[in-house]
Amino acid sequence: MVEPRIAVAVVTMGNRPNEVDALLESVAKQELAPARVVIVGNGCRLPEFAHRLGLPGEVTTIDVDENLGCPGGRNVALARLREFGDVDVVVELDDDGLLVDPEVLHRVRDLYAADPRLGIVGFRIADEHGETQRRHVPRVGAADPMEGGYVTGFLGGGHALSMRMLADTGDWPAEFFFAHEETDLAWRAADAGWKILYAPELLLQHPKTSPARHAIYHRVTARNRVWLVRRNLPLPLIPVHLGIWTAVTLLRTRSLGGLRAWFGGFVEGVRKPAGPRRPMRWRTVWQLTRLGRPPVI
């Protein structure tokens, strides 16, 4: 069994220095030391972290002049890891998360060592009380957050990605900036024959939040939803998917301002280029359906 080399990547806007320090301390306490740690300052300048981690020479900080969003910042980290050329799996963590179990990286390594077609491993996200929000469970319905297994998507806050898979599928859709980038990558991974595993034993402690806290939430959620299906779905499924999500949005959204922003984003998604179109095979549609989430829901 070949043991893959693990890296950790963190993207931060510099507004959570205490949380980043705590996260890096939790990485330093892992029983398996990562081969690399890359920290991206997304539109900010970063301090030197190496002495805090106790991993001199293995911590790389990258300052980016402008905020590239979650997927763009992660792509910066991935590009640097490729330059090093000594990493097989990257663990990407939200800057306000915490690895409370010192065996997380060890377990990630074992999962990838056991299955060469494992592409993505999603962590369980829970707050300091151990509660997992419904939106953080990668299954339709009132699913048990402790039930692991193969799924159709993963959580952006804490996950692991195979570098071989990324060479096959391509990186994050940087133009998304925020929202639905995980689904875009997951669909491409599934269509390329890579497995997506939800492993609830891999815990990232993360404060309870709402995605609607971001001012751009309604607009980019709608825009990216349109881009997502334009890029990835067979033509007959595009109106089905968008019709279902429009109905769901009308039922769920209570704010008139939110609805206006959502429909503005929807129009933007229709009018602006969505990036390269690579529609998934019908076999992939069936595979996602068998796993519990057909790509129209």
| pLDDT value of position 142 | 63
Residues contacting residue 20 through CB under 8 Å, at least 6 positions apart: 10, 12, 39, 49, 95
| pLDDT value of position 209 | 74
| pLDDT value of position 1 | 56
Nearest to 229 by CA among 136, 158, 294, 155: 294
Does residue 54 surpass a pLDDT of 60?
no
- How far apart CA 28 and CA 21 sit, in angstroms, is 10
Confidence band of 297 (pLDDT split at 50, 70, 90): confident
CATH of domain 6-209: 3.90.550.60
Paired tokens of 62: 């990258």
pTM, full prediction: 0.94
Confidence band of 109 (pLDDT split at 50, 70, 90): very high
**Strand-pair partners of 92:** 9, 159
Confidence band of 56 (pLDDT split at 50, 70, 90): very low
Give residue limits of the domains in the chain. Answer: 6-209, 212-279
Q: Do the beta carbons of residue 274 and residue 227 sit within 8 Å?
A: yes
| Strands laid side by side in the 89-94 sheet | 59-64, 36-42, 6-12, 89-94, 158-162, 118-126, 195-205, 149-150
Does residue 52 surpass a pLDDT of 60?
no
Nearest to 279 by CA among 240, 234, 238: 234
- How far apart CA 49 and CA 63 sit, in angstroms, is 13
| pLDDT value of position 190 | 98
Confidence band of 162 (pLDDT split at 50, 70, 90): very high
Does residue 110 surpass a pLDDT of 70?
yes
Q: Do the beta carbons of residue 269 and residue 226 sit within 8 Å?
A: yes
- How far apart CA 48 and CA 86 sit, in angstroms, is 22
- How far apart CA 206 and CA 204 sit, in angstroms, is 6
Nearest to 93 by CA among 46, 42, 24: 24
Residues contacting residue 129 through CB under 8 Å, at least 6 positions apart: none
| Average pLDDT value for the chain | 92
Mean pLDDT of 135-148: 85
Q: Do the beta carbons of residue 181 and residue 74 sit within 8 Å?
A: no
Candidate from 98-112, 141-155, 176-190 with smallest mean pLDDT: 141-155
